[in-house]
Structure 1
Amino acid sequence: MISIYSISALILAYLFGSIPTAVWIGQAFYGIDVREYGSGNAGATNTFRVLGKKAGIAVMVLDILKGYTATNLAYLIGLSVTGPQNSVQFVNYQLALGVTAVMGHLFPVFAGFRGGKGIATLFGMILAVHSGAALLCVLTFVVVLMISKYVSLSSILSGFTFPLSIIFIFQSPIRSVVLYGMCICVLILVTHQKNIERLLKGKESKVNLFKRKE
């Protein structure tokens, strides 16, 4: 059922996703447009690479909040439209809002439609839809980052953790969530082609978040 509320929520979700946190933080605090350096993407990974861990962490947290907030706009649509919380219809609305936010991050109206790769915003969406799977994604990200020091590799493997955990660990009965998880894998492969090439060639930049400055 399409209503003015659901349409408005989708528009808001896109606008949330379109907030170019990496671009605005880079320009406001460093006088740099991160899209002109590194991989050329306006996301957390490139912010880590170009501006360092403080800016990278800030961008990552804010991008996660974008996805989480946009996805939870489903609560504002009204149960008469979405159905009971955790019902198939409600979760489908959450997925639609989350995907719209991710598209906003990839193609932000506030930054000339040149955005990032959407991993942090995807995680915010996952956190809103299935917190258990999200925690496993976090665990994967942290472990891989500690071992490899590659933010991109950590992001890729944590993204693949979601569909695997949904299918084999949590065994979600909602088919749209499973399908969404599979689509995440495809999106990750498409948006991280250059990162994967650099990883294979050993040319990807490393970040040590856990090293203290002396």
Structure 2
Amino acid sequence: MNPLEKVIWILVAYVFGCLNGAYYVGKLYYQQDIRELGSTNAGARNAGRVFSRSAFIVTVIIDAWKVIIPLWIAISFWEMDTIILGCMAIALLLGHLWPVQLGFRGGKGVVVYLATALMLAPIPLVVCGLIILLGYQLHKNLMLIAMIGFSSIPLNLFIFYRNIELTVVFFMMLSVVVIMHRNGD
């Protein structure tokens, strides 16, 4: 694959990332802009709070599939190397956070982070889920427990898999997700 094709794949990933589930669910089903309601964040959590539990679920599904589809195609049909897949994952996250068609006002990236882990690091994702389930039994602050669980993905990739490229990608993605959640919402 030549360098131009790699750049095109990364740009395609950004475009997929721009497909914001919360915004489209709000516009299509509720005729409202999620970015003007609740926390004004165009993410699944706000959609669930403002609209309904089903809006949350549909938003999660849309936001997960927008990650799964391009990564699955790149892995299955193009046999992309880890660095390009990592760049695609970061582009998906950036598209979700700052979608061009929505004036660069998107979500906070949790679903994109987890869907990326599903595609690129499924066993560390399972470990993350177990940490969150067990941690929540001990401490009821879900945001704190979730961030600890999310942190286990790059640590797991580094310690047990020795995959430096994916460790760096997931650490970068996690850092952005944490920064996006700095206001606690």
Q: What TM-score do you get using the length of structure 2 for normalisation?
A: 0.85
| Structure 1 SS opposite 2:41 | coil
Distance 1:131 1:74, change over 3 A: same
Give me the CA root mean square deviation.
Answer: 2.4
1:159–1:184 contact (8 Å) kept in structure 2: no
User: Is 1:59 equivalent to 2:50 in the alignment?
Assistant: no
Task: Give 1:44 deviation, angstroms.
Answer: 1.1
User: Is 1:119 equivalent to 2:110 in the alignment?
Assistant: yes
CA distance in 2, matches of 1:21, 1:43: 7
Task: Give 1:113 deviation, angstroms.
Answer: 1.3
CA distance in 2, matches of 1:142, 1:12: 35
Q: Which residue of 1 aligns with 2:165?
A: 176
Q: Which residue of 2 aligns with 1:210?
A: none
Task: Give 1:153 deviation, angstroms.
Answer: 4.4
Match of 1:98 among 66, 89, 105: 89
Deviation sequence 1:66-90 (CA, Å, 0-9, x none): 12223234237734xx4xxxxxxx1
Q: Which residue of 1 aligns with 2:123?
A: 132
User: Is 1:148 equivalent to 2:140 in the alignment?
Assistant: yes
CA distance in 2, matches of 1:153, 1:101: 24
User: Is 1:21 equivalent to 2:36 in the alignment?
Assistant: no
Q: Which residue of 2 aligns with 1:162?
A: 153
Distance 1:48 1:142, change over 3 A: farther
1:72–1:94 contact (8 Å) kept in structure 2: no
Task: Give 1:19 deviation, angstroms.
Answer: 0.3
CA distance in 2, matches of 1:142, 1:20: 27
Opposite residue 131 of structure 1, the aligned amino acid is P
Q: What TM-score do you get using the length of structure 1 for normalisation?
A: 0.75
Opposite residue 130 of structure 1, the aligned amino acid is A
- Unaligned runs of 5+ residues in structure 2 are none
Identity %: 24
- Unaligned runs of 5+ residues in structure 1 are 83-89, 196-203, 205-214
CA distance in 2, matches of 1:19, 1:194: 24
Deviation sequence 1:168-201 (CA, Å, 0-9, x none): 4xx1222111222322332232110111xxxxxx
Opposite residue 175 of structure 1, the aligned amino acid is I
Structure of higher CA gyration radius: 1
Task: Give 1:158 deviation, angstroms.
Answer: 3.3
Distance 1:49 1:93, change over 3 A: same
| Structure 2 SS opposite 1:56 | helix
User: Is 1:191 equivalent to 2:162 in the alignment?
Assistant: no
User: Is 1:68 equivalent to 2:68 in the alignment?
Assistant: yes
CA distance in 2, matches of 1:102, 1:114: 13
